[in-house]
Amino acid sequence: MKVGELARVTGLTVRTLHHWEERGLVVPSARTASGHRVYDDGDVRSVYQVVALRELGLPLEAIGGLLSSGSFADVLTAHLDQVDARLAALHALRGTLAAVVDRLRDAPDPDPSDVLMMIDEVSRVNDTFAQYFTPEQVAALRARRAEGGTAAAAWPGLIADVQAEMDAGTDPAEPRVQALAARWSELLAAFHRGDESLQRQLYRLREENPGEVTAAGGPDQAMIDYVARAGVTG
């Protein structure tokens, strides 16, 4: 098979095949009398191997070493670790973007300096959050938010309602405060889902970083005490 024919059947370009030859990845086994490249069955298999490995995202340097050594398990495991690291970074970036976008919805046409301040604040909150929860817990919490964003979206309104009752001096024993407290308990349960370790870390995060929690829109200690008097702990 000549290079043009191989390019047609594989969907690659002649230039790509020439580049792979220069890198020593797929070197044609023979040439015609006029100097044209000729690829045998083994060469064609090598082309498809390179194509498959490229689809996994491996760089050409890694593919060359892999094909020469044959240590697929080691190379692919290392590549998987790199992919996991990139995914974790992308998840963190997405969390920051989502939080900033949520805030921007409440502040149409913000000043650019305000947006930069928002990004800085959200990034600091995310960094603090990451100090208290394992990567697995963070991933689980993000998945829960994606599954049912209504629970996360309910917190700002609930906090505002509780604050209104506090400002009005309403007794925590009043039925409407009791109803708010019951909703508070439901949202807390949706957050930690019975995971005691997650629950402990949540309390610790709040106790050790009250300023950042309230700056991010969370409840302050006075509100927590108020809801506790209505029968909710946490």
pLDDT of 25 over the 80 cut: yes
Residue-level pLDDT at 19: 93
pLDDT of 118 over the 60 cut: yes
Q: Which one has a higher pLDDT value, 163 or 135?
A: 163
Q: Which residues pair with 30 in a beta bridge?
A: 38
- Residue from 98, 141, 96, 144 nearest 122 by CA: 96
What is the b/e burial string over 142-179, where b = at least 16 CB atoms within 10 angstroms of the residue's CB? Answer: eebbeeeeebbeebeebbebbeebbeeebebeeeebee
Task: Give CA–CA dist 150/29, Å, rounded.
Answer: 62
Which range, 95-99, 125-129, 137-141, 173-177, has the best average confidence (pLDDT)?
173-177
Which range, 15-19, 62-66, 115-119, 211-215, has the best average confidence (pLDDT)?
15-19
**For the chain, what is the mean pLDDT?**
81
Q: In the structure encoding, which two tokens stand for residue 14, read together?
A: 């002649």
pLDDT of 149 over the 70 cut: no
Q: Phi then psi for 160, rounded to 5 degrees?
A: -65, -40
Residue-level pLDDT at 190: 78
pLDDT of 232 over the 70 cut: no
* 3-state secondary structure (DSSP) of residue 30: strand
Confidence of residue 150 (pLDDT cuts 50, 70, 90): low
pLDDT of 142 over the 70 cut: no
